[in-house]
């Protein structure tokens, strides 16, 4: 982190401007309302300061009754107007900023949704996203900090400009010659000297503050790791899916090391406690002390000039208040710039994630929508290596799917079955060879148009905590009759009749307290119904009955032809007995298709891999002699 941390101010401000442009693109109203609020809040106090000075001067001087009444009325009216406008601006700002957190995370979420599957599936991408999330959530670094920093920047600039406009007369007001030795206050050298002192004190305070804040930024990697440990072990008791194992093996004791250890990163004797005690704390305290010196110097200078007769008592309050705000503005400006520099390294990490390229060519051809479902797919000398791997997961696969065919794909773990399906669905592109749809390389088709050809029930499918109908219809609006038919075909018809709200029944209780908990087998039936509802010409089933009981499994098999209809079906399974209804079986071994044929023909080949796998399973279901 230290190397990334060392960034020039020029580069730091450049990446901050890019971040601001990104935020303005996604939520312009929040940016504009925040900026207007910052300028308004910084300048309006000077109105009260100026009017108060006029009133005090009048009271200490001529005491003109009419002028006093006029000044008081102007002060009251202006205060009321400022309060009204401030309330309206704050309301506008609060409304526009209410969803900033969600919208900011949507930027990262949309990046993942738009990324190629190969990018999402890469462990480096997942690790990169994890670091970004830790930076944002744990320390509030990255995009989270940008809008606040710019708001502070604009506010301090406005405050600085306002302060200068009211204090410039302080330095040009001359002490009368009759003041004797006090006339030294008129000397250009004295004015330059006091100005230098005020500026020096103003610069030292934010420099110390920025240095104090930098220690956290420099140790963010340690913070992120410790926060990840806390995020897991600190909330282990909330995880339902781990509750059984925790109790059986008494695993809650493992949490003590990470939650109760005083020497841990966040413990009282840990890294950040030592930094706060030895470095960050003293620097922050010194920064506050130095800022008090400015106030002291300002009081001395203003009071000396007033004592010598350069101006009246009213101007004293105006100059003191204005100088304090001017110093605060300059100090805040420099602190903010320092914080923006500290934050720049985290923004760089975020943009490195957002700038990850999609290597997959998207294509532009439309897939012909055929009512006869006459789609033919061919693997032609296809080989594939996963990114970063030196070995082939698939090697020289040649295969052609016949229209309406029922193909089973079998093989041992690691034989290439899942990789074969990922290439078929173009989650990855082949390393060698090509895949053709109706004689055209699938890379030439529009990516999402090509995906529309497939319905897939993945082994690790996911259902959402939404109404049943929306889960099957994959959308808010869906054909109720079709959804009900698909659920019935998938074996969920009887269970549907029992649901309290029918298709409007929520799955799980994450969103609705009236939601239902479903078993693994029921979830698998719903996932199968979702695949049927899409009504794509190719349907791929990855272990579709793994969670079903034997009776439900037999029901699916007996109705398989009716369920699939005229679709081309590809069926992946470890249970070879469930492949017998398929027209053809492809046997994978070590990334290659070593056999193809019907069940009976493959079993009869005693030297084949299928025969070996078949009898390895059959021995558990037949009585040994």
Q: Which residues touch 523 (CB under 8 Å, ≥6 apart)?
A: 461, 463, 547
Mean pLDDT, contiguous 10-residue spans, the chain (625 residues): 62 94 93 95 91 87 88 94 96 90 88 89 88 82 92 92 85 84 84 80 74 68 70 70 76 71 68 72 74 77 86 84 81 85 90 91 80 79 90 92 84 87 92 92 91 87 92 92 92 90 91 87 89 90 70 68 80 78 89 91 91 80 50
Same domain (yes/no): 343, 461: no
| 566 and 509 in a common domain | yes
Residue 541's SS3 state is: strand
**Helix axes of 313-354 and 9-26: crossing angle, nearest 10 degrees:** 80
Structure confidence at residue 586 (pLDDT): 92
Same domain, 330 and 409: no
- Two structure tokens written together for 169: 């007369």
Name 380's bridge partners: 434
In a domain, 486, yes or no: yes
Strand partners, 408: 571, 585
Burial of 238 (0-12, 13-18, 19+ CB in 10 A): exposed
Both 520 and 444 in one domain: the answer is yes
Burial class (CB in 10 A: 0-12, 13-18, 19+), 294: buried
Claim to verify: residue 323 and residue 409 sit in the same structural domain: no
How far is Cα 501 from Cα 471, in angstroms, rounded to an integer?
14
In a domain, 254, yes or no: yes
b (16+ CB within 10 A) / e for 118-154: bbbebeebeebbebbbbbbebbebbbbbbbebbbbbb
pTM of whole model > 0.85? no
Is 350 in the same domain as 407?
no
* Cα–Cα distance measured from residue 560 to residue 570, given in angstroms and rounded to the nearest whole number: 12
Domain total for the chain?
2
Structure tokens at 475: 């959308």
In order, the DSSP letters of 543-591 are STTTTS-HHHHHHHHHTHHHHHTTSEEEEE-S-GGGGTTSSEEEEEETT
Residues linked to residue 570 through DSSP beta bridges, in sequence order: 407, 540
Indicate whether 92 belongs to any domain: yes
For residue 424, what are its two tokens?
A: 């078929």
* Parent domain of 552: 403-414+440-618
| 344 lies in the same domain as 452 | no
Domain match, 324 and 410 both = no
Q: What does the block give as tokens for 390?
A: 């030196």
Q: What is the 3-state secondary structure (H, E, C) of 282-313?
A: HHHHHHHHHHHHHHHHHHHHHHHHHHCCCCCH
Claim to verify: residue 594 and residue 497 sit in the same structural domain: yes
Tokens of 408: 């089973």
Asked if residue 142 belongs to a domain, the reply is yes
The string of pLDDT tens digits covering residues 95-137 is 999 888 888 889 999 999 888 888 888 888 988 888 888 888 8
Q: What is the pLDDT of residue 2?
A: 45
- Is the CB of residue 20 less than 8 Å from the CB of residue 137? no
Give the CATH number of the domain where residue 463 resides.
3.40.50.300
* 410 and 477 within one domain: yes
In a domain, 607, yes or no: yes
The tokens describing 476, both together, are 């808010």
CATH number for position 213? 1.20.1560
Here the tokens at position 156 are 């301090």
Return the structure tokens found at 596. Answer: 């193809």
User: At a CB cut-off of 8 Å and minimum separation 6, what does 37 contact?
Assistant: 89, 90, 92, 93, 151
pLDDT, tens digit (0-9, with 9 covering 90-100), for 516-563: 988 888 888 899 899 999 988 889 888 766 666 667 666 666 667 777
Query: 408 with 315, same domain?
Result: no
Per-residue model confidence (pLDDT) at position 3: 47
Sign of torsion over alpha carbons 570, 573, 576, 580: negative
Strand order across the beta sheet in which 592-597 lies? 454-457, 538-542, 568-572, 406-411, 584-589, 592-597
């Amino acid at each position: 982190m230290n190397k990334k941390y060392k960034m020039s101010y020029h580069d730091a401000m450049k990446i901050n401007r890019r971040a601001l442009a990104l935020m303005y693109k996604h939520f312009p109203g929040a940016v504009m309302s925040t900026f207007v609020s910052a300028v308004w809040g910084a300048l309006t106090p000077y109105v009260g300061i100026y009017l108060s000075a006029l009133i005090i001067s009048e009271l200490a001087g001529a005491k003109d009754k009419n002028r006093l009444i006029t000044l008081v009325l102007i002060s009251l009216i202006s205060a009321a107007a400022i309060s009204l406008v401030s309330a309206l601006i704050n309301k506008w700002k609060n409304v526009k900023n209410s969803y900033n957190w969600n919208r900011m995370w949507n930027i990262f979420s949309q990046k993942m949704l738009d990324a190629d599957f190969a990018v999402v599936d890469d462990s480096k991408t997942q690790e990169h996203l994890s670091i970004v999330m830790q930076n944002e959530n744990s320390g509030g670094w990255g995009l989270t900090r940008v809008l606040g920093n710019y708001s502070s920047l604009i506010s301090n600039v406005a405050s600085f400009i306002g302060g200068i406009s009211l204090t410039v007369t302080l330095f040009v007001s001359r002490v009368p010659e009759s003041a004797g030795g006090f006339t030294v206050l008129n000397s250009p050298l004295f004015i330059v000297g006091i100005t230098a002192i005020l500026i020096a004190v103003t610069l030292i305070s934010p420099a110390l503050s920025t240095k104090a804040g930098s220690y956290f930024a420099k140790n963010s990697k340690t913070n992120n790791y410790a926060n990840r440990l806390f995020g897991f072990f600190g909330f282990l008791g909330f995880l339902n899916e781990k509750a059984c194992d925790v109790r059986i093996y008494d695993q809650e004791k493992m949490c003590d090391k990470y939650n109760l250890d005083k020497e841990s990163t966040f413990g009282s004797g840990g890294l950040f406690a030592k930094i706060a005690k030895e470095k960050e704390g003293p620097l922050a305290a010194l920064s506050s002390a130095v800022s008090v010196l400015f106030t002291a110097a300002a009081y001395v200078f203003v009071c000396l000039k007033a004592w010598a007769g350069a101006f009246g008592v009213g101007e004293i309050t105006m100059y003191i208040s204005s100088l304090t705000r001017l110093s605060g503005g300059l100090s805040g400006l420099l602190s903010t710039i320092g914080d923006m520099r500290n934050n720049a390294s985290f923004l760089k990490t975020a943009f490195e994630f957002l700038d990850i390229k999609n290597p997959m060519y998207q294509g532009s051809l439309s897939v012909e929508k055929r009512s006869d479902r006459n789609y033919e797919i061919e693997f032609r000398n296809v080989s594939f290596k996963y990114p970063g791997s030196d070995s082939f997961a698939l090697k020289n696969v040649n295969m052609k799917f016949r229209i309406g065919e029922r193909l089973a794909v079998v093989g041992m773990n690691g034989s290439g079955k899942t990789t074969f399906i990922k290439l078929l669905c173009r989650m990855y592109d082949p390393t060698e060879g090509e895949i053709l749809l109706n004689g055209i390389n699938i890379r030439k088709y529009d990516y999402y148009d090509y995906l529309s050809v497939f319905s897939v029930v993945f082994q690790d499918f996911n259902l959402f905590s939404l109404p049943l109908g929306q889960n099957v219809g994959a959308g808010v609006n869906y054909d109720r009759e079709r959804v009900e038919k698909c659920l019935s075909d998938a074996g969920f018809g009887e269970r549907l009749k029992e649901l309290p709200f029918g298709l409007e029944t929520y799955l799980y209780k994450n969103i609705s307290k009236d939601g239902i908990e479903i078993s693994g087998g029921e979830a698998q039936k719903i996932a199968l119904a979702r695949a049927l509802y899409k009504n794509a010409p190719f349907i791929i089933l990855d272990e579709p009955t793994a969670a079903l009981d034997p009776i439900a499994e037999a029901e699916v098999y007996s109705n398989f032809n009716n369920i699939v209809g005229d679709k081309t079906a590809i069926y992946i399974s470890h249970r070879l007995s469930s492949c017998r209804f398929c027209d053809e079986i492809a046997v994978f071994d070590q990334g290659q298709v070593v056999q193809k044929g019907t069940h009976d023909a493959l079993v009869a080949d005693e030297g084949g891999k299928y025969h070996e796998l078949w009898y390895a399973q059959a021995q558990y279901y037949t009585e040994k002699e």
